[in-house]
A and B are shown apart, each in its own frame.
Chain A
């Protein structure tokens, strides 16, 4: 079998590439697919923290490339889901320790035995980015509804389009705040899709639960009650080809309205 290699990239830093990688990976593994996550952010690795696997890492991608261990030895299995494993970045080296060909080779090897290989790309458009996209056939571009993030995403999409191997580039809009959109203080989903002109894979609402889940090392998709978790689960399903309607982000508004309603009723009684 030949799995799919998907790179998760953004150009700008801090928009949620790593969070997205961890959550889509976990969600796909929960659906029963074999998934490998590769952290290519050498020197500034984070993916292991988000998955709570830092204490299990012995070998990193650099050890594999420099042949100090076998590829299989360097794969760290997730605590909960044996379908999910992580190939960690080296913390004590920098991006120059790896080149694009080597990464492509690793991706090619991994996709033989796995359904999905998700590559978490570092910020920027330099070597780290070039390495990360080398083995990929699909890309997910993560952005937030801010001018700067969109500008960088646009640049990235341009770069991805010049690469023939990448056949599909889809957009993930992160940290969306419906109430700001309503007040015209934030660009709407349609605005962003209109500017970037690539198919929309999903929308993730702003969720403070992400902070706690990151600190705990537990991806938010494992939280059945979280809206962001639900959004990531939907994205995983869309990645698998299912048609899932986009979340109605106005829902929380509805709850507030309901509460107001209750108060109004109470007042009426008094």
Chain B
């Protein structure tokens, strides 16, 4: 990974990364550097194939530090297509052609080669026969607000795709993008009108701590639907703890410094800013949901993840528009999904 300077931004060369995990890991390290704040970033991505959702995560990571993507350089067609559909500019840069000409200081500059056609070509608007049945299956669970478990079951069957995440354990990175498996389903969902879809986002890094479950607790997977639910309508403030042998539903915000500990799911109808521990007795099936997941730490069963340092903003601006988020365990990692509504 090398960093180059250009006039009003950075070139970040990630083309040596072997896989997505490594790429995001290196990028997040660079983004922690204070100099990157507010800069325009040019990403050299090499030949790594990035799905739309993966590229979106990367974009979010960069934008979290007030920086923005100026353009990307890639040799992968897939990445190109993803970038095109996200409106990210693509440019080819050779090592000789440097600085001035690259950064489009004049708006929508010439060197940008955005292939419009690719959008329509690559995004599978409809995959004839299969799509219907899959869409049905996927959509149904959403109506019951119990999406991921069924979805996972469904998608696991398509798992045979080679696993590119084996190197993940090498880094402290936890959460990034196993969504190759989800990709087609997303695209299909996106294609069919007005459906709610998942968009995976990455902002948490796994903490390496030992056993954190209460003594004698064992990892298990139980449906949280059957558990009783504690209903609270209040703001949780710093220093306040709610513990319940069941699900917890909070109508209000949970401020930084508060703790919510549940045997089952945790749902916050508001901003979750404190610590949330779902399934604290070892239920890996538990989930944490909030209108805005800004928890300092997310804990599900025996897994602990801390918020990325670049996102260490304790208080979130309140707006009228939140995109609900949901965290769950997947392949031994805590993964967060944004519940997007695609129109």
Encoded as 1 (CB less than 8 Å from any B CB) or 0, chain A from 131 to 171 comes to 00000000000000000000000000000000000000000
A-chain residues with CB within 8 Å of residue B257 when the two chains form the complex: 91
Cβ of B122 within 8 Å of any chain A Cβ, yes or no, is: no
Which of A13-21, A27-35, A49-57, A183-191 contacts its partner? A49-57
Task: Return 7 A-B CB contacts under 8 Å, by A number.
Answer: A54-B314, A55-B307, A58-B207, A58-B297, A59-B209, A69-B210, A91-B239
Please determine whether B306 and A56 come into contact, CB atoms closer than 8 angstroms.
yes
Q: Is the interface of B mostly helix, strand, loop or mixed?
A: loop
Complexed CA–CA distance, A119 and B238 (Å):
23
Complexed CA–CA distance, A49 and B259 (Å):
17
Cβ of B256 within 8 Å of any chain A Cβ, yes or no, is: yes
Cβ of B304 within 8 Å of any chain A Cβ, yes or no, is: yes
Specify which of B207, B240, B296, B297 is in contact with A92 (CB 8 Å cutoff). B240
Q: Is the interface of A mostly helix, strand, loop or mixed?
A: loop
Complexed CA–CA distance, A141 and B314 (Å):
30
Specify which of A43, A56, A79 is in contact with B239 (CB 8 Å cutoff). A43
B-chain residues with CB within 8 Å of residue A49 when the two chains form the complex: 314
Please determine whether A58 and B312 come into contact, CB atoms closer than 8 angstroms.
no
What residues of chain B have their CB less than 8 Å away from a CB belonging to chain A? 207, 209-210, 212, 238-241, 256-257, 259, 296-297, 304, 306-307, 309, 312, 314
A69's closest neighbor in chain B, by CB?
B210
B215's closest neighbor in chain A, by CB?
A68
Given contacts A49-B314, A59-B209, A92-B239, 19 further A-B contacts (CB under 8 A): A43-B239, A44-B239, A52-B309, A54-B256, A54-B296, A54-B314, A55-B296, A55-B297, A55-B307, A55-B309, A55-B312, A57-B297, A58-B212, A58-B297, A58-B304, A69-B210, A73-B209, A73-B210, A91-B259
What residues of chain A have their CB less than 8 Å away from a CB belonging to chain B? 43-44, 49, 52, 54-59, 69, 73, 79, 91-92, 217
B204's closest neighbor in chain A, by CB?
A55
A-chain residues with CB within 8 Å of residue B207 when the two chains form the complex: 56, 58
- A43, A55, A59: which has the most chain B beta carbons within 10 Å? A55
Complexed CA–CA distance, A73 and B257 (Å):
20
Complexed CA–CA distance, A79 and B172 (Å):
14
Complexed CA–CA distance, A241 and B156 (Å):
64
Please determine whether B314 and A92 come into contact, CB atoms closer than 8 angstroms.
no
B-chain residues with CB within 8 Å of residue A44 when the two chains form the complex: 239
- A56, A73, A79, A217: which has the most chain B beta carbons within 10 Å? A56
A92's closest neighbor in chain B, by CB?
B241
Complexed CA–CA distance, A127 and B173 (Å):
42
Complexed CA–CA distance, A57 and B314 (Å):
15
